[in-house]
Amino acid sequence: MNKNIVNFIFELNQLKRIRHSGWQLAGVKNSDTVAEHMLRAAQIGYILAIMEGDANPEKVVAMLIIHDNAEARTGDQNKVSARYYSNKEAEEKAFNEQLENIGESIEKKWIAYFKEYKDRNTKEGIIAKDADWLEQAFQAKEYVDLGYQSAQNWIDNVAKALETESAKRLIKEMKGIKFTDWWKDLKKMTYKKLK
């Protein structure tokens, strides 16, 4: 079993190599990776769960750190290609196969989390999906601020899809801020003026 776990951990590294394909439609040449998306989505999910007040933030994070694992095998599918074929069944099959032989307790829990995320049939599943979408909206905002104006479409679509009040408040606030604003008050000049 240890060899299977080690191989699975190596497989997860593929997520650091797979770039989100949808951003190519907006002209972005060097877009974020699936792994980068998953990390920030998990952190957003924790924040949203706390903001919502009646959800388990650790469970939300667990859903988000596994929700795109299958893409290590299936790759990332953008919404235009999804118009012509869906890889949902392939992703589910890949996800389930990834979990074979790495331990029954992990397999059962992760399959349950994956289903809860997909079905959005619990508060945690709803929050996790909102965090997934919200992360993409934040990424889009960064690209818009960098001059990729067509990325605005992601922000507009996510704003319509969000379910939780907390996510709706965050996206509303995000729209009025530049992605570089966070560091402006932190910047400190270190020189001394000569007299």
Tens of pLDDT, residue by residue over 20-78, are: 999 999 999 999 999 999 999 999 999 999 999 999 999 999 999 999 999 999 999 98
Kindly give the interhelix angle for 104-119 and 88-99, rounded to the nearest 10 degrees. 160
Largest CA-CA distance found in the chain, in angstroms, rounded = 72
Banded pLDDT at 1 (limits 50, 70, 90): low
Banded pLDDT at 188 (limits 50, 70, 90): confident
| d(C-alpha 23, C-alpha 151), whole Å | 7
Domains of the chain with CATH codes: 2-179 (1.10.3210.10)
pLDDT at 4 over 80: yes
- pTM for the whole structure: 0.93
How large is the average pLDDT for residues 107-135? 97
Q: What is the 3-state secondary structure (H, E, C) of the chain?
A: CHHHHHHHHHHHHHHHCCECCHHHHCCCCCCCEHHHHHHHHHHHHHHHHHHHCCCCHHHHHHHHHHCCCCHHHHCCCCHHHHCCCCCHHHHHHHHHHHHCCCCHHHHHHHHHHHHHHHHCCCHHHHHHHHHHHHHHHHHHHHHHHCCCHHHHHHHHHHHHHCCCHHHHHHHHHHHCCCCCHHHHCCCCCCCCCCC
